[in-house]
Structure 1
Amino acid sequence: MVKISKPVIHEIDYTVDGLKKFSESAVNFKKKSRKYLLDYPTVYIINNEARENTYNVYIGETSNIKARTNQHLLTNDINRELSRLPTTNSASMFVIGHEYFNKSLTLDIENKLMHYLSTVDQVDTVYNRRTNQQNKYYTSEYFEEIFSKVWQELRKKNKILFPLKSIIEDSALFKASPFHKLTREQIDAKDKIYTKVINSLESDKVGELILVAGEAGSGKTVLMSSLFYDLKKELAREVESKKELKVHMIVNHDAQLTVYKQIAEKLGLTSKNNLEAVLKPTRFINNITNEDPVDVVIIDEAHLLWTQGKQAYRGKNQLHDLLERAKVVIAVFDVNQILTTEQYWEEDELEKIKAMSKKNDNYIFLTNQMRIDAEEQTIDWIRNLVDNQIVLNIPNDDKGYEIKIFDDAEKMHNAIKEKSKNQEKGISRVVATFDWKYVDKRKPENEEYWMVKDNDFKIPWNYQLKPKNKSVKYKDVSWAEQPHTINEAGSTYTVQGFDLNYVGVVIGPSVKYRNGKIVFDKEESENRKAKQRRTLKDGSKEYLSDFLLKNELNVLLTRGIHGLFLYAVDDQLQEALLKAQKGEIKIG
């Protein structure tokens, strides 16, 4: 086994004098340090403390650190973004060298530093250009270990700018970052979409639909985030007009909207026109006309768009309206994550949009499971529970994914608390099916909070408890990232689209087990949007609760990266799950 050495990291003042001192003092460096910093490729981080404990950063790599630093200092035309970084005494530069550094490895280190630093709370802005993901190369097998050692050494120099990796990796911002290293499937999809967008813009058509499908956890959000970054940063250079293009990210989910807005602000992706780069569909539709369409619209979680009029939206189908207002629409769609009657698509309408995209070879289906870190038989167990509504014996998982059934909800909550205490295990939370009453912005009559209850167990629904640390502002932080929410139960409204390391699901009384099958009972659900009737286009009214409550269960069961803990209120379902844990389910 190869032992990976520590990197060499040297900090200099980011000034002409600082560069001069670095050059002069290099003769006194140890031989290896001098070689790795001056003769090998290096990675560097320019950081400017714009305000106390708040930084702007630029990350780069070079084969000649002295020449490249001189260019940054004296010739700002080389990098316009960098010219916005004031070269004051508060600016410094970390120069990073390593014996294994080559061009490909330094590009990967640069990209990963952009990924991590762009999600650090104390970093205001990352001034960089497009990503430079590398594939296989000579030292690629050592990349992760080398990066960890680089980060550890940087932490010794500045713990505020370089916090614990585990804290960063738990943030929703990190998980949705455009700087994730993409899989081959995602790279192929991204290249195909990018080419389609260029061809479509040059033909000047309106309403070209590119549909991206795949189950929960198949990497759709990361793909869209990466596309959004590249389209905003690079697309204008690729098309003949070279004019600034109007590219917008649309998302109909409050928590995800906040995450995308933060990404746009930190990475300089905000619009120069009056309309925000990241916004909700109704605001976009009400501000853009058919006569003046934008260039590209990306819709994450397009299954959350409305298919009927509601509130300020006066149309009939938001996706159709978006297609009339953009030359290209890239939509992520998962029919198994539709949760309310106002999002429901009738089968023939759904087939029409699929056919529209397939006609021009614009239908992309992602198959890899990116979230659940488990063996295939474990994923199959979850899919059988949801899709086929059957309970099978829980398989052993050699990758360590943990499915555990609890005979008491309180014990499950305590187990989730234990997982959450360990920073290496990351954020873990309890969630529940919407089977207990909750009314937003209203207090219950006889209790302090709206509660999820079973026997002696009770826990408040999400967004009710106040943080203990009043000095921390959690307005722009997702529900699960707020420490006090370990004592609340999340719902599909707070966790859809987000990851948890371990998820404990209280399966409420709307999910039952009868005659060897899971069934759904709308009378036990408090989710009015799932159990009310929907008026169909032929004028008939139909209950969609079986479909929508099944999707609710699907969203909750697919949040956990490393583990899924379960407790069922229905006695027969609980009995079946406990039998499955012991391997006592008889097949056939």
Structure 2
Amino acid sequence: MVKYRTLNLDLKNGLITNELTKDNKNVLEVKPVTYIYYNLKKKKVYIGETNNFMSRHAQHLGEKEPKLDYREYSNCLVVYSVLFNKSVILDLESLLINYMMAESKTTKFTFLNGNTGQSELQYVNKEEILTEVFYPLWTNELFGLGLIKNKDLNALRESLLFKYSPFKNLSAKQREIKEIVEQNYHENYIVDAPAGSGKSVLFTNLAFSLAEKNPNLKIGVVTTGNLIAQFNLIFKSVGLSDRLKVLTGSQLITHAQKNDVTYDLIIVDEAHKLKKYYTKGHPNARRHLKEGEEEIMHLKAISKGMVLLYDPFQGIKPQNISPSEMIELTDGFAKLEMTQQFRIGANSDFSGEDFLNGILYGIQLSKKNNFNRDVFKSDYFSISNSFEKLVEYVENKTHSYDNTTNRVIAGYCREWKSNPGKKCNKGKNYDELEYDWNIDGIQKRWNSTYEDWIKRENSEVEIGSIHAIQGYDLNYAGVIIGNDISVRDGRLVAVPENYKDVGGTPLKEEFDINELTNYILNIYYVLLSRGMDGCSIWFEDKEVEALFKERIGL
């Protein structure tokens, strides 16, 4: 028995042209419903919920400045059920918005909803609504009407457009921070947020909400280069590409200086990757800086307020502003904090925070050892005893669990000899390129690209570097801790000759082994925090493995 019903209304200049039965009128006047206005030709969609559709429809038609005049919608699909109440229709509205937006790159729809930033909804029959209403509605009515193209909800759930949707439900802390900024957006804030705490969700949600509520507000949005295309697609899909153009820090600074622009607010995702002038840095990354300058100085100069979403353990290069420099540069900023872990799986005995705190202690980035060590004895975590076993771990997860994203990732301890971007342009085929890794008779290449690497055709057989994986989620991560780190007198220390990121080492005249060690350990912290459902490590240096196991209690 189908546990819901739908009513597809034909609209002409906002008027319902269907001949409505007594039952239809009752549904539209007194039943709680979720509804979808749409115009397939104009690629416009609006999703809502109400306890009285006829009254709500009249309100829509009376709006003075809608994003799209509701008279231009050709249809409205109304979903109703005896199971529905206010919580259910709100949740169904959220599900439809987030999943339909996740495939907007294919459907080309623009979603004209406002932002509520509501917290996660919990109610008694939530599982029943998912399995008996949302899933069949998606694969039957929505697919049949051409409102969706992809029936595979699992694949959509893994997309960045879904994960970073500005309509995602917020945690209580995310919501609190959003409200603080919205009340006073001409202040400066630094949000201390570890890996997996929801920085990017807050980033898109805050930018969208401020733009929606303040039509004249000039907002700058900044992130790292490998995420720009995805974030710009998100803002395009909600009709805000003209107001929210995502750039790197250097691009925004250059644009503002060239066009004499001052922003009301600049929001920076992954603020730990903001740069300072550095002689060895790529010319494009420092041409806007003079010696002694940092990007934060310029961002301050072109904005009335700023929000920095920051993790002190994710700076991975000398040209990144260091934690001590960040403290000095943000003196006077309001300090906010997010600690709840959303990426890494948990159960009733341990949390994602336990795993991250254990990793930080295990690789000597933190002295805090008050974490539940059972996390390292659970199904979530393992240590592979060979490179071959690590590769097998990732491949086995891919074959065992459909629609999961699982990759081998590593510290930058091998040269990038394959370099397909350069060599394929010179006439070589990808299959002819040399291998960067050759261990246990297994040959692998580094990531063939940095931008959106995990979605590329060859990524499953490649090894991802920090530059390809930072900012992304995996289901299962196989992490190589390479020979660029060793043990000396009970301490982890860098091995400079084995660290192959040419732009990632301190200048010779200023070389500091402790500085390089921290950069490398930060890289491993980032890599080890990518897996949502599981993580396995292979240690190239067995002394490093022994020290790590001792510290985490194995």
How does the TM-score come out when normalised to structure 1? Answer: 0.80
Q: In structure 1, what is the equivalent of residue 326 of structure 2?
A: 350
Question: Is 1:545 the counterpart of 2:519 in the alignment?
Answer: no
Question: Is 1:260 the counterpart of 2:231 in the alignment?
Answer: yes
Structure-2 separation of matches of 1:534 and 1:265: 45
Distance of aligned partners of 1:293 and 1:576 in 2 relative to their CA distance in 1, 3 Å threshold? closer
Unpaired runs of 5+ residues, structure 1, are 201-207, 237-243, 465-474
Residues 412-467 of structure 1 show CA distances to partners (whole Å, capped at 9, x for unaligned) of 22321232345556211111111111164334999614423323122111126xxx
Distance of aligned partners of 1:577 and 1:346 in 2 relative to their CA distance in 1, 3 Å threshold? closer
Aligned pair partner of 1:40 in 27, 31, 41: 31
**Structure 2 contact 167–205 (Cα < 8 Å) conserved:** yes
Give the alignment of 1:87-166 within 5 angstroms.
87=73, 91-120=74-103, 121-135=105-119, 140-143=123-126, 145-154=128-137, 155-159=139-143, 160-161=148-149, 163-166=151-154
Aligned pair partner of 2:256 in 283, 288, 291: 288
Give the alignment of 1:425-436 within 5 angstroms.
426-436=404-414
Aligned pair partner of 2:461 in 487, 494, 501: 487
Aligned pair partner of 1:249 in 221, 225, 240: 221
Report deviation, 1:36.
5.5
Report deviation, 1:573.
3.3
Report deviation, 1:62.
2.2
Distance of aligned partners of 1:63 and 1:169 in 2 relative to their CA distance in 1, 3 Å threshold? same
Distance of aligned partners of 1:141 and 1:248 in 2 relative to their CA distance in 1, 3 Å threshold? farther
Q: In structure 1, what is the equivalent of residue 18 of structure 2?
A: 21
Unpaired runs of 5+ residues, structure 2, are none
Q: In structure 1, what is the equivalent of residue 526 of structure 2?
A: 555
SS at match of 2:184: helix
Give the alignment of 1:503-542 within 5 angstroms.
503-513=477-487, 516-533=490-507, 542=512
Structure-2 separation of matches of 1:195 and 1:262: 27
Give the alignment of 1:111-510 within 5 angstroms.
111-120=94-103, 121-135=105-119, 140-143=123-126, 145-154=128-137, 155-159=139-143, 160-161=148-149, 163-197=151-185, 200=186, 208-236=187-215, 244-251=216-223, 253-271=224-242, 277-289=245-257, 292-308=261-277, 310-311=283-284, 312-315=287-290, 316-345=293-322, 347=324, 349-357=325-333, 362-374=334-346, 375-376=350-351, 377-388=354-365, 395-397=373-375, 402-421=380-399, 426-438=404-416, 440=419, 441-443=421-423, 448-463=433-448, 478-510=452-484
**Structure 1 contact 108–132 (Cα < 8 Å) conserved:** no
Report deviation, 1:22.
5.4
SS at match of 1:323: helix
Structure 2 counterpart of 1:234, one-letter code? K
Structure-2 separation of matches of 1:265 and 1:183: 25
Structure-1 separation of matches of 2:14 and 2:265: 46
**Structure 2 contact 194–339 (Cα < 8 Å) conserved:** yes
Structure 2 counterpart of 1:384, one-letter code? Y
Structure-1 separation of matches of 2:78 and 2:409: 45
Structure 2 counterpart of 1:49, one-letter code? L
SS at match of 2:414: coil
**Structure 2 contact 192–311 (Cα < 8 Å) conserved:** yes
SS at match of 2:422: coil
**Structure 1 contact 12–22 (Cα < 8 Å) conserved:** no
Distance of aligned partners of 1:48 and 1:479 in 2 relative to their CA distance in 1, 3 Å threshold? farther
**Structure 2 contact 477–534 (Cα < 8 Å) conserved:** yes
Structure-1 separation of matches of 2:225 and 2:136: 37
Distance of aligned partners of 1:434 and 1:417 in 2 relative to their CA distance in 1, 3 Å threshold? same
Structure 2 counterpart of 1:11, one-letter code? N
Structure 2 counterpart of 1:111, one-letter code? S
Structure 2 counterpart of 1:498, one-letter code? Y
Report deviation, 1:486.
1.0
**Structure 1 contact 37–97 (Cα < 8 Å) conserved:** no
**Structure 1 contact 437–451 (Cα < 8 Å) conserved:** yes
Structure 2 counterpart of 1:221, one-letter code? S
Structure 1 counterpart of 2:264, one-letter code? D
Residues 110-159 of structure 1 show CA distances to partners (whole Å, capped at 9, x for unaligned) of 2332122111133323333322354588x724345424533312212244
Report deviation, 1:223.
1.1
Structure 1 counterpart of 2:184, one-letter code? K
**Structure 1 contact 170–481 (Cα < 8 Å) conserved:** no
Distance of aligned partners of 1:286 and 1:146 in 2 relative to their CA distance in 1, 3 Å threshold? same
Q: In structure 2, what is the equivalent of residue 467 of structure 1?
A: none
Structure-1 separation of matches of 2:70 and 2:460: 41
Report deviation, 1:577.
6.5
Distance of aligned partners of 1:533 and 1:141 in 2 relative to their CA distance in 1, 3 Å threshold? farther
Distance of aligned partners of 1:579 and 1:386 in 2 relative to their CA distance in 1, 3 Å threshold? closer
Distance of aligned partners of 1:162 and 1:103 in 2 relative to their CA distance in 1, 3 Å threshold? farther
Calculate percent identity across the aligned residue pairs. 23
Structure 2 counterpart of 1:216, one-letter code? A
SS at match of 1:115: helix
Structure 1 counterpart of 2:441, one-letter code? D
Task: Indicate the larger mover: 162-171 or 63-72.
Answer: 63-72
Structure 1 counterpart of 2:464, one-letter code? G
Task: Indicate the larger mover: 183-192 or 311-320.
Answer: 311-320
Structure-1 separation of matches of 2:400 and 2:12: 42
Distance of aligned partners of 1:43 and 1:394 in 2 relative to their CA distance in 1, 3 Å threshold? closer
SS at match of 2:433: coil
Structure-2 separation of matches of 1:388 and 1:299: 24
Distance of aligned partners of 1:569 and 1:354 in 2 relative to their CA distance in 1, 3 Å threshold? same
Q: CA RMSD in A?
A: 3.5
Distance of aligned partners of 1:134 and 1:552 in 2 relative to their CA distance in 1, 3 Å threshold? closer
